[in-house]
Structure 1
Amino acid sequence: MLIGELAERAGTSTRALRYYETRGLLEARRSANGYRTYDAAELRVVREIRALLAVGFALDDIRPFVACLRAGNSSGDVCPDSVAVLRRKLAEVDAAVARLGEVRAQLSAQLSHAISSREETCKRQTC
């Protein structure tokens, strides 16, 4: 299929596909007239790339998933290198969640203090 058809089927732009190709994630052949042509398997690769990008993976993190698909696996996350990336990404998310919990607790305490200070001020004055 040509790049426009692949882009339409994958729900992305031809520019994104060319970028994925320059990053070594997508494989295209050139026809005699110089057009990029793609196997149907590349649609699965593009969908995997897009799904991983949507949840915050960087393109370099996606490489093992693409390699896993190209190795003939039904999913890009069944290979050891992909599992390692998933573990690392999960640890990053857990750390971010913990940090957000700390920030939330700090903001909650600050809000409670602000409310009680305002109530004390209003008791002494008419608010």
Structure 2
Amino acid sequence: MRIGALARAVGTTTRTLRYYEQEGLLTSARTAAGYRDYAPATVRRVRNVRELLALGFTIADVREFRPWLDQELPPTFVAGPGCAAAMRVAEERLALIRQRLDTLTQLHDSLMAPRPSGAGPHGLTGRGRRSGPATSAAVSATAARAGAGSRGGGRGRPSTPARRAVAARGR
């Protein structure tokens, strides 16, 4: 099977397939004319590589799974003979996913936290005043760091004397 036919069969590009080959995930024979010629089983291998990448594994991680790329991937990974390195990679990836989940959960909880009456989605009321314990200086400092202000010339310059003072202290 030539590279174009393989790319169509798995829904990717020929450039991606060449990259996988360069990274040692695929092998191909060459025709007399020098074209890449892939075995039909390569379709499963490429699908498995793409699935592992979509799950969050890196190319380096996927290399550890090379012995199993030509077979159906199991619904869950279990330790077996000869797969200690692959299991280590899977555990490391799982730890990173757990960290991301914790971070996203914290972000979700902070965004969903009850706000004082009249506060908008960012805790602001009316004309950019923050309700609650935050002070207007903190809001000004945040705006100055972000380069906010319609009269600041659009170049990150603070637009009011108070913001200029806060920005000057931050330098």
Scaled by the length of structure 1, the TM-score of the pair is 0.76
Cα deviation 1:30-74 (Å, max 9, x = unaligned): 11110000112211110111111222221111111223336xx65
More deviation, 47-56/80-89? 80-89
Structure with higher RCO (Cα < 8 A, 6+ apart): 1
Matches within 5 A, 1:89-104: 89-104=93-108
Residue 117 of structure 1: how far off its partner (Å): 5.0
Amino acid across the alignment from 2:10: A
Partner in structure 2 of residue 31 of structure 1: 31
TM-score, normalized by length of structure 2?
Answer: 0.59
1:99 maps to a residue whose letter is: T
Aligned AA (1:9): A
Does the 8 Å CA contact 2:9/2:43 hold for their aligned counterparts? yes
CA contact (8 A) 1:3 1:36 kept: yes
Q: Deviations over 1:72-127 (max 9, x none)?
A: x6548563322222211111111111111222222233xx23x4254xx89xxxxx
- Structure having the higher Rg: 2
Q: Which residue in the other structure is 2:169 paired with? A: none
Question: Which residue does the alignment assign to 2:63?
Answer: 63
Is 1:50 aligned to residue 54 of structure 2? no
- Structure 2: distance between partners of 1:117 and 1:31: 72
Equivalence for 2:159 = none
Following superposition, the deviation at residue 29 of structure 1 comes to 1.2
Read off the aligned partner of 2:117 and give its amino acid letter.
S
Kindly indicate whether the alpha-carbon contact (under 8 Å) linking 1:7 and 1:14 is maintained by their aligned counterparts in 2: yes
Structure 2: 5+ residue stretches without partners: 120-124, 127-171
Of Structure 1 and Structure 2, which has the larger fraction of its residues in helix? 1
Counterpart CA distance in 1 for 2:109 and 2:16 is 40
Identical counterparts, % of pairs: 41
**Residues 48 and 66 of structure 1 are in contact (CA less than 8 Å); yes or no, is this contact kept in structure 2?**
no
What 5-or-longer segments of structure 1 have no aligned partner?
Answer: 123-127
Residue number in structure 1 paired with 2:117? 116
Tell me the C-alpha RMSD between the 2 structures: 2.5
Q: Residue 65 of structure 2: SS of its match in structure 1?
A: helix
8 Å Cα contact 2:49-2:69 kept in structure 1: no
1:19 corresponding residue in structure 2: 19
The structure-2 alpha-carbon separation of the partners of 1:30 and 1:87, relative to structure 1 and needing over 3 Å to count, comes to same
